[in-house]
Amino acid sequence: MSGEKAVLLEYLKKTPEEKKKKKINSLQIMAPGFLGVILLGGLLLTFPVFNTDGKWLNFIDALFTSCSAVCVTGLVTIVPAVQFTLAGKILLLLLIQIGGMGVIVCVMWFMVLIKRKITLNARVIIQEYFNMDTMSGLVRMLLYVAKGTLVVEGCGAVLYSFYFIPSYGILRGIWYSVFHAISAFCNAGIDILGEDSFARFVSNPWMNLVTILLIVMGGLGFMVWKDLTLFLKRIFLQKDPLGRSVKRLTLQTKIVVIMTVSLIVFGMLFFLAAEYHNPETLGPLNAGEKWLAALFQSVTTRTAGFYTISQGGLRDASKFVSCILMFIGGSPVGTAGGIKTVTLAVLLLTCWSILKGHEDTECFRRKIANSILRSAVVVFGVGLFLLLAGTTALSLLEPGASLLDCMYEVASAVATVGLTAGLTPGLKAASKLVIIVLMYMGRIGPITLPMILAARLGRKNDNRTLPQEHIVVG
Q: What is the pLDDT of residue 22?
A: 47
The b/e string for 396-431 (b: 16+ C-beta within 10 A; e otherwise) is ebbeebeebbbbbbbbbbbbbbbbbbebbeebeeeb
Q: Is the pLDDT of residue 132 over 70?
A: no
Burial 123-161 (b: 16+ CB within 10 A, else e): bbbbbbbbeeeebbebbebbeebbeebeebbebbbebbb
State the pLDDT at residue 57: 95
pLDDT of residue 32 exceeding 90, the answer is no
- Cβ atoms of 43 and 139 closer than 8 Å: no
Higher model confidence: residue 204 or residue 28?
A: 204
CA 39 to chain CA centroid, Å, is 20
Write down how long the chain is: 474
Tell me the torsion sign for CA atoms 228, 232, 238, 239.
positive
DSSP code of residue 249:
S
Mean pLDDT of 338-343: 89
How many other CB atoms are found less than 10 A from the CB of residue 47?
14
Task: Give pLDDT tens digits for 42-88.
Answer: 999 999 999 999 999 999 999 999 999 998 888 999 999 999 999 99
For the cut 80, the answer to whether the pLDDT of residue 333 exceeds it is no
Report the distance separating Cα 45 and Cα 61, nearest Å: 9
pLDDT at 442 over 90: no
Percent of the chain past pLDDT 90, that is, above it, reads 48
Highest mean pLDDT among 147-151, 283-287, 469-473: 283-287
